[in-house]
Amino acid sequence: MALHDEILEQYDVLKNLLSSQKNQVEKIAAEIKRRNIEYVFLAARGTSDNAGRYANYLWGAYNQLPLALATPSLFSIYDRPPRLKNALVVGISQSGKSPDIVSVIAEGKRQGCLTLSITNEADSPLAAEADFVLDVKAGVEKAVAATKTYTAQLTAVAMLSAALADDQARWKELDNLPGWVETVLKLDEKLAYLSTRYRYMQRCVVLGRGFNYATAFEWSLKMKELTYIEAEPYSSADFMHGPIAMVDQGFPVMVVNPSGKVYDSLLPLMHQLREVQQAELAVISDQPEALALAQTPIPLPAGIPEWISPIVSIIPGQLFGYHLTLHRGLNTEAPRRLSKVTETN
């Protein structure tokens, strides 16, 4: 199965990306620092949009770069683009073929902005339009559901952050990334068993916060497109402002809560969901207390820095979605009404 094979390729993909693209990342970072860049304007769709959510937190927290997520229809349909003075205009796309994302990069270039494409297709229209191309080097991705290209996009975002900060300690932490990925890939057989519990699930919510806000969105997307479950992602903070009312006994709640600054803020909500509302919890974490609250605990290796934890924490979510699709008797390679390349205008 292509999807399963591509999930398991992520150790090799990320190891190759870290070694092969460091020089290109440093060139891009040098030009960004040379220019009067005040913020990032980022365009993406689908899985790539979730990579943009990660960049929003990471580049803001570590590089003091505010990030605005583009509304591509202003460029492609309304033909009313905003002013982009002093912006770094970034397009993230696995295929690099979506006309609306290309239109944002083209307009950024027309306005004199520095433009960057992060893509798995170095000869794509998106790459051709940009000043700089960061090729994520994931190789051919045949499965409709993106997996290895997503973690490669996150890793590219993380590499650029480390280069912009000229932070050698964070580069060393990135060197450990393939090892952590290799460890979580060993959960494959365990997740095949654990996901059986959810084969009749029709709806759920997926919670994350901070850097792993992106993980909540991507895990929920994998379940929507592969298993057709109504999986709604929320920031744990937003969830408490209304949506928590839908949770009653046995309601499935997926939680991503590894170590880091948001861990303590999410833990009381997990206690409430399990002990008061008697929800059904599946939890991705490296912390024993969080895992102990789950009917379905999914452990992460210890020691992963929070800033790169989304690259590792989504992989159990990918495996969970893959195996749950099989348990539900569905086709992992051809989700209904989806194609590998979606070209929106």
The enclosing domain of 220 has a CATH number of 3.40.50.10490
CA distances 317 to 94, 147, 160, 247, 255, Å, are: 19, 10, 25, 21, 10
Show the tokens assigned to 271.
């206690």
d(CA 57, CA 211): 6
Residue 338 within any structural domain of the chain: no
Total domains in the fold of the chain:
2
End-to-end CA distance of the chain: 31
Residue 334 within any structural domain of the chain: no
Last residue of a domain, one of 175, 198, 227: 175
Alpha helices in the chain (DSSP H): 2-8, 10-20, 22-34, 46-63, 73-76, 99-110, 125-129, 148-165, 168-175, 177-185, 188-194, 213-227, 236-239, 263-271, 288-292, 309-327
Same structural domain, 210 and 264: yes
**Which residue range is the domain that position 149 belongs to?**
2-175
Residue 305 within any structural domain of the chain: yes
Greatest mean pLDDT range, 170-184, 238-252, 328-342: 170-184
Cα 35 off chain centre by? 28
Same structural domain, 250 and 142: no
Mean pLDDT along residues 162-186: 98
Using one digit for the tens of pLDDT, what is the confidence trace for 332-345? 988 876 654 565 65
Residue 341 within any structural domain of the chain: no
Same structural domain, 117 and 205: no
Same structural domain, 154 and 219: no
Residue appearing with tokens 């916060």: 209
Q: Sorting pLDDT into bands at 50, 70 and 90, what band is 234? A: very high
Same structural domain, 221 and 237: yes
User: Which residues make beta-bridge pairs with 283?
Assistant: 255, 297
| pTM recorded for the entire structure | 0.96
Residues 6+ apart with CB under 8 A from 114: 31, 32, 35, 37, 88, 89, 108, 131, 132
Residue 344 within any structural domain of the chain: no
Same structural domain, 142 and 12: yes
Using one digit for the tens of pLDDT, what is the confidence trace for 154-170? 999 999 999 999 999 99
Same structural domain, 158 and 206: no
Q: Sorting pLDDT into bands at 50, 70 and 90, what band is 73? A: confident
Using one digit for the tens of pLDDT, what is the confidence trace for 247-294? 999 999 999 999 999 999 999 999 999 999 999 999 999 999 999 999
